[in-house]
Amino acid sequence: MLTSLALNAQELLKPPFGVNWGDSPEKLVSWATEKSLDLTITIPGKSPNLRIIHVAAPKGTLPDSSATSVEGKFLHGGLYEMTIHYGNTSTSATIMEERFEEMKKQMTREHGPLLTNQQHKAVDNHFVTRTQAFHRESLKGVFLLIAWTEVEDLLRKTKEAKFSVIYRNDNFKAELEAKKARE
């Protein structure tokens, strides 16, 4: 019964863009190809069993979304993390902050209260960098995180901002690692 409850909680935090935990990279690659999106596949030298699939629109946002790009992490062929990036240089920092706050409210409505991870401000060489991160762990090992970054150039009086929403299932990642170890 406990296993059933754990599985249901993991299902409640389902990654976006029509993918599921454990899907192969093919689903994301096919979607990117069908929509004529830019696609980058990275295989880190120190982690040859990891595939990072980054999908971005050549200009603007992804189809049917306000996101500018999406990135899936696949271990031994199974999806365990998905990150959705919002923001580009043509959108003002003020508008991005409004979108960030609205996304945070939406996530709270759908998944419950978010906890503060970090808030940081640094000034270096006339640049001010502000970061904030909030998360929800509905089940131990299943995370939803939203992270904000704003960079202000004090000399040129400009600001850029972006944020990302990360869906991560460390339980499924551990299952993939254990399955590979048994093989």
Euclidean distance between the first and the last CA atom of the chain, given in angstroms as a whole number: 28
- CA separation, residue 126 to residues 114, 123, 154, 156 (Å): 32, 7, 5, 9
pTM exceeds 0.75, yes or no: yes
Nearest partner of 162 among 146, 149, 153, judged by Cα: 149
| Residue 59 in this model has a pLDDT that exceeds 60 | yes
Distance CA 175, CA 183 (A): 12
Distance CA 150, CA 119 (A): 12
Mean pLDDT of the chain: 89
Retrieve residue 143's tokens. Answer: 């995370």
Over its C-alpha atoms, the chain yields an Rg (Å, rounded) of: 18
Residue 166 CB neighbours (<10 A): 19
Q: What is the DSSP letter of 8?
A: H
pLDDT tens readout for residues 29-52: 999 999 999 999 999 999 999 999
| Residue 17 in this model has a pLDDT that exceeds 90 | no
